[in-house]
Amino acid sequence: MNQKTVGMIGWIATTTAILTYFSYVDQIRLNLSGHPGSLLIPAFTVLNCCVWLPYAFFLEKKNWPLIISCMVGLSLGLISAITIIHP
């Protein structure tokens, strides 16, 4: 498979990951309205992104699709976790 195709797959995967992370927006809304969800999923999302982010950043050639999706996941996962703990 050529690198252009691999790069395109990377950006498609980034888009789908970001769409998945946007499911946290509804959970944040519920948390703030007094219906907090489980802390497990956002906590493991934050952990996952904290592991993948430095990996993608410190590669010889930075993996920008992975960096971008991890930044979104880390941000929304943290906000979701915080709103569960401190509504």
Indicate the number of domains in the chain.
1
Cα dihedral angle (79, 82, 84, 87), rounded to 10 degrees? -100
Question: For residues 60 and 62, what is the distance between their CA atoms, to the nearest angstrom?
Answer: 6
- With a pLDDT cut of 70, the percent of the chain lying above it is 99
Q: Mean pLDDT over residues 9-18, rounded? A: 93
18-45 pLDDT per residue, tens: 999 998 999 999 999 999 999 999 999 9
56-83 pLDDT per residue, tens: 999 999 999 999 999 999 999 999 999 9
Segments forming the whole domain that contains residue 73: 3-85
Contact 50, 74 (CB under 8 A): yes
Instruction: Report the predicted TM-score, pTM, of the whole model to 2 decimal places.
Output: 0.87
Q: Give one DSSP letter per residue of 11-39, joined into a string.
A: HHHHHHHHHHHTHHHHHHHHHHTT----S
Q: Give one DSSP letter per residue of 41-55, joined into a string.
A: HHHHHHHHHHHHHHH
